[in-house]
Amino acid sequence: ASGSSSQSKLSSPVLKCYHNEVAPLIAVRHNGPRLGMKFYACGYWPKATCGFFSWVDDVNHIQDMQFQLLEKYTTITDLENKVKMLKEENENLKELLTEARIECNERRIMMECEVDDKRDTYALLLS
């Protein structure tokens, strides 16, 4: 039993308070029904606090929430990158479209000139 308790002390979770600082593990020291109970709190307490507080028993729930939050941030970052790539692709396609329109106009003008040249040639032959 002592091995498992020392292992749990070594692998105690690292929680961060709302200041994004490590929240230390603290034990209740005043006499009362909670004497010796452990909790995590803002590391700046008692001088200043962000309001972060969690009993050790609640840590799994908090870790799950922090993991979910991390997953959401990851998803948001991935989507922002995808949006950026799509915007770049959209700009590239706009440039290609502009170039294609220019080329189309140039070919149309060349074809009109060829038609005019053929008409002029026929007109000369007929006259």
> CA-CA distance, 52 to 33, in Å (whole number)?
22
- The residues, any chain, with a CB within 8 Å of residue 25's CB and separated by 6 or more, are 12, 38, 39, 40, 56
3-state secondary structure 2-13: HHHHHHHHHCCC
What does the buried/exposed string (b/e) look like for 1-37 if buried means 16 or more CB atoms within 10 Å of the residue's CB? Answer: eeeeeeeeeeeeeebebeeeeebebeeeeeeeeeeee
Task: Extract the tokens encoding 45.
Answer: 């307490």
Q: Rounded CA gap, 48 and 117, in Å? A: 88
| pLDDT tens readout for residues 1-29 | 233 333 344 456 678 888 889 989 888 98
Interval 58-116: pLDDT, tens:
666 777 777 888 899 999 999 999 999 999 999 999 999 999 999 999 998 888 888 77
Q: What's the pLDDT at 75? A: 94
Per-residue confidence (pLDDT) for residue 127, from 0 to 100: 67
Q: Express each pLDDT in 45-72 by its tens digit.
A: 778 789 888 888 766 677 777 788 889 9
* Higher pLDDT among residues 119 and 79, named by residue: 79
Residue that wins the pLDDT comparison between 126 and 102: 102
Residue appearing with tokens 């948001």: 76
